[in-house]
């Protein structure tokens, strides 16, 4: 098997061996930029990429740093860390979870989650390496609750499909097997929809016949752009494009709201993140008009009450706001930046990668107005590596030697450290700094 093919091996040790074999040669003929991306999903949640493959893709895109961010899972963090060492690529480790906002001033409102009011997405950034096992234990009951709901959602979807003469899914055969749940990964609605895409391709064949059945038999809306992609049986991203149709049109037919066993208290989650030295970050979405990325319908989220939400995030204990610059307008980004500055919150950026069609790049970060997000990434890298060696060197630790300094000053100092770190030896971070 070719070394690049081994990046997708079922065995993590084999994947890492391939990454080490590639080594720094992966940078050959690559136009390296200052771009970074702290929000890349792997196949431990939903993505076509192993952590090793994601690291290689990031390097080939010219990124200098990449961060793993799987839903409800840290199963890929160690692999991403080691892949970064092999490739001389800086990395960050995190996970994305959903929390209920009961007891906050925004309880009952729709924040950044299109499916459930009072439930918000948050990220745990910069998880110190020695604390991954604690995060895994924290996530275990969340994964178990989500798995129960996944099975119930699949049953509901099957009833809907059977009524229309379409192929149904066997959860264990079709859904479980396209996940890495057996290795500590999570199962999401995207897995269910991807499994359905594969089943319908097998039943009807990729191309015009499947497109007709999706529109006529299933009665799903398909945009002209989506129709063009699905009419082409040679489209290499076919299953992911079909999933995109299902995500926007089919989820309401089988979605089951999550309970508090799956989406625990925001106060408890944020307290846990702070206790282990991670950086809890609220994931800003913002109202969607004409989506810059084309993957969101027009919808209102937290912009109407953002001035109320941000101080509430501080009260809860959040240390940062994370967002995806290509998803927002410049006016939205400027507003978030001003609120973060006013309330002492770190800004962390990333571009959500979960499809083979997406680019790892984020060129907006090269614009002068957004270069601070690159600096913040290097500060995040230094935070994670220093905290992995000595907990009190975590950026927001109360006994951090710089704890009394303004946040901007601390971020600048940590960014300088991050840039000096040798990505091949992150365990040798200079804690004396």
For the segment 312-335, what is each residue's pLDDT rounded down to a tens digit?
999 999 999 999 999 999 999 999
Instruction: Categorize the per-residue pLDDT at 293 as very low, low, confident or very high, splitting at 50, 70 and 90.
Output: very low
Task: Report, as an integer, the average pLDDT of 162-180.
Answer: 96
Q: Is the pLDDT of residue 296 over 70?
A: no
Q: Is the pLDDT of residue 237 over 60?
A: yes
Position 292 scores a pLDDT of 40
Of the candidate CATH numbers 3.40.50.2300, 3.40.50.150, 3.20.20.140, 3.20.20.60, the domain formed by 33-138+264-428 belongs to: 3.20.20.140
Q: Is the pLDDT of residue 380 over 60?
A: yes
Instruction: Categorize the per-residue pLDDT at 408 as very low, low, confident or very high, splitting at 50, 70 and 90.
Output: very high
Q: What is the CA radius of gyration of the chain?
A: 21
∠ CA(63), CA(66), CA(68), 5° rounding?
155
224 Cβ neighbours under 8 A, 6+ residues apart: none
For the stretch 57-107, pLDDT in tens is 999 999 999 999 999 999 999 999 999 999 999 999 999 999 999 999 999
For the stretch 15-48, pLDDT in tens is 999 999 999 999 999 999 999 999 999 999 999 9
Task: Report, as an integer, the average pLDDT of 108-134.
Answer: 96
The residue ranking higher by pLDDT, 223 or 427, is 223
Using a pLDDT cut of 70, give the percent of the chain over it.
Answer: 97
Q: How far is Cα 421 from Cα 268, in angstroms, rounded to an integer?
A: 33
Q: Pick from 222-226, 265-269, 366-370 the range whose average pLDDT is largest.
A: 265-269
pTM of the model: 0.95
Q: Is 39 within 8 Å of 67 (Cβ atoms)? A: yes
On the 0-12 / 13-18 / 19+ scale of CB atoms within 10 A, 383 is buried
130 Cβ neighbours under 8 A, 6+ residues apart: 388
């Amino acid at each position: 098997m070719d070394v690049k093919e081994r990046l997708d091996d079922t065995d993590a040790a084999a994947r890492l061996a391939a990454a080490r074999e590639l080594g720094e040669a992966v940078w050959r003929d690559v136009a390296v930029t200052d771009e970074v991306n702290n929000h890349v999903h792997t196949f431990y949640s939903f993505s076509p990429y192993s952590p090793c493959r994601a690291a290689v893709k990031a390097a080939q895109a010219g990124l200098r740093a990449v961060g793993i961010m799987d839903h409800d899972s840290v199963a890929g963090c160690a692999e991403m860390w080691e892949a970064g060492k092999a490739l001389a690529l800086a990395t960050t480790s995190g996970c994305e979870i959903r929390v209920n906002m009961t007891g906050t001033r925004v309880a009952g409102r729709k924040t950044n989650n299109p499916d459930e009011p009072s439930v918000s997405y948050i990220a745990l950034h910069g998880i110190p390496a020695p604390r991954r096992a604690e995060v895994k234990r924290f996530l275990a009951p969340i994964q178990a609750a989500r798995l129960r709901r996944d099975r119930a959602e699949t049953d509901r979807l099957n009833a809907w499909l059977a009524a229309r003469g379409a192929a149904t899914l066997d959860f264990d055969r079709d859904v479980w097997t396209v996940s890495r749940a057996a290795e500590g990964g999570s199962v999401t609605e995207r897995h269910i929809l991807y499994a359905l895409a594969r089943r319908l391709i097998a039943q009807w064949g990729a191309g015009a016949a499947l497109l007709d059945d999706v529109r006529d038999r299933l009665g799903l809306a398909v945009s002209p752009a989506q129709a063009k992609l699905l009419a082409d049986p040679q489209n290499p991203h076919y299953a992911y494009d079909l999933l995109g149709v299902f995500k926007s049109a089919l989820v309401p037919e089988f979605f089951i709201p999550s309970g508090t066993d799956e989406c625990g208290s925001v106060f408890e989650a944020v307290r846990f993140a702070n206790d282990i030295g991670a950086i809890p970050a609220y994931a800003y979405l913002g109202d969607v008009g004409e989506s810059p990325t084309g993957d969101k319908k027009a919808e209102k989220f937290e912009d109407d009450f953002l001035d109320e939400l941000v101080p509430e995030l501080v009260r809860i204990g959040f240390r940062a706001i994370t967002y995806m610059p290509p998803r927002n307008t410049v006016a939205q980004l400027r507003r978030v930046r001003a609120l973060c500055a006013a309330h002492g919150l770190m800004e962390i950026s990333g571009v959500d990668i979960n499809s083979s069609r997406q680019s790892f790049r984020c060129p907006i970060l090269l614009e002068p107005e957004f270069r601070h997000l690159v600096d913040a990434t290097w500060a995040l890298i230094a935070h994670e590596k220093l905290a992995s060696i000595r907990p009190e060197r975590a950026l927001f630790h109360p006994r951090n030697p710089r704890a009394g300094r303004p946040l901007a000053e601390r971020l600048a100092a940590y960014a300088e450290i991050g840039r000096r770190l040798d990505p091949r030896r992150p365990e040798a971070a200079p804690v004396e700094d």
